[in-house]
């Protein structure tokens, strides 16, 4: 019976074994692909969601994203670390929503719920024609979604991308954030140039698990903060944007709990 590691990394196994000789790569593999995660990825392979894991795209304290292969295309595999450190940087509103939506209280169960939540929100965004990675499936702490990029690599974060037309960028952000608010009825809550990919002159919203419904009491302030982040970013690049104008353009006046009727 093949080992889970051989199933996850079939053709790439020799390359990974070579990398294991290097301290950093060995640490990376050991951190993310513990026995439980290897078994989870193996089950996703058996379900036909991916064929193999290729290499890391980005890693952080909460988790990492890896490129995977599926037939003749690529997919992204996002793996959340299982442990309490994953939630130390979560905003209070996001943790509150997660606890409200799930009955679990242990850290492992919350991470599984968080993974499921990101999959669900990505689906809502896709249904609303918001440009975000298409979700393909999830299991435990592993999420499989669309890979934004090509054979040469993943799309850069907006913060690191070269943008030629700032007016077009502003219109693109208004369109995507506006669809998220007006059509998906969601507010991202942690939106910045670090949580947007820039691919083929289009914005792709990512890291959406902390998003809240647009009627959430915290939604107006969260959206205002998201918009202010981008207004400052665009102004810094040379395209002055008034936050109030930006907020109106994405439908900020429609966000918040419905007014009470006397």
Residues that are catalytic: 190, 207
Alpha helices in the chain, H assignment, sequence order: 4-8, 13-19, 23-32, 35-46, 92-101, 107-127, 166-182, 219-237, 243-249
Nearest to residue 200, comparing CAs of 178, 175, 168, 232? 168
Cβ neighbour number for residue 226 with a 10 Å cutoff: 25
For residue 176, what are its two tokens? Answer: 């995507």
70 has which bridge partners?
73
- Residue 185 makes CB contacts below 8 A (sequence gap 6+) with 213, 214, 215
Task: Give the separation between CA 114 and CA 86, rounded to whole angstroms.
Answer: 10
For residue 169, what are its two tokens? Answer: 């960028």
Q: Are 137 and 49 in contact (CB under 8 A)?
A: yes
What sign does the CA torsion over 43, 48, 52, 58 have? negative
Q: How far is CA 128 from CA 53, 159, 192, in A?
A: 30, 25, 21
Task: Give the separation between CA 109 and CA 141, rounded to whole angstroms.
Answer: 9
Q: How far is CA 122 from CA 28, 46, 73, 205, 237, in A?
A: 27, 23, 20, 9, 29
212 has which bridge partners?
187
């Amino acid at each position: 019976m093949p080992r889970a590691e051989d199933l996850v990394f079939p053709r790439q196994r020799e390359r990974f074994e070579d990398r294991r000789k290097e301290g950093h790569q060995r640490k990376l593999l050991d951190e993310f692909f513990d026995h439980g995660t290897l078994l989870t990825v193996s089950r996703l392979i058996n379900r036909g969601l991916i064929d193999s894991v290729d290499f890391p795209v980005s890693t952080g304290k909460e988790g990492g994203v890896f490129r995977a292969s599926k037939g003749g295309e690529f997919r992204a595999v996002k793996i959340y670390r299982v442990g309490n450190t994953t939630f130390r940087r979560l905003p209070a509103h996001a943790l509150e929503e997660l606890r409200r939506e799930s009955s679990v209280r242990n850290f492992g169960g919350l991470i599984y719920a968080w993974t499921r939540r990101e999959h669900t929100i990505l689906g809502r965004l896709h249904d609303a024609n918001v440009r975000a990675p298409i979700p393909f499936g999830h299991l435990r702490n592993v999420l499989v979604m669309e890979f934004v990029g090509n054979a040469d690599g993943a799309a850069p974060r907006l913060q690191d991308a070269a943008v030629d037309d700032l007016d077009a960028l502003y219109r693109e952000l208004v369109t995507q954030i506006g669809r998220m608010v007006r059509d998906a009825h969601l507010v991202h809550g942690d939106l910045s140039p670090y949580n947007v990919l820039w691919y083929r002159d289009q914005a792709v919203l990512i890291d959406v698990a902390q998003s809240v419904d647009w009627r959430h009491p915290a939604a107006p302030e969260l959206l205002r903060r998201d918009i202010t982040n981008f207004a400052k970013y665009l102004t810094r690049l040379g395209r002055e944007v008034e936050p109030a104008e930006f907020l109106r353009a994405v439908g900020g006046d429609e966000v918040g709990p419905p007014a009470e009727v006397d």
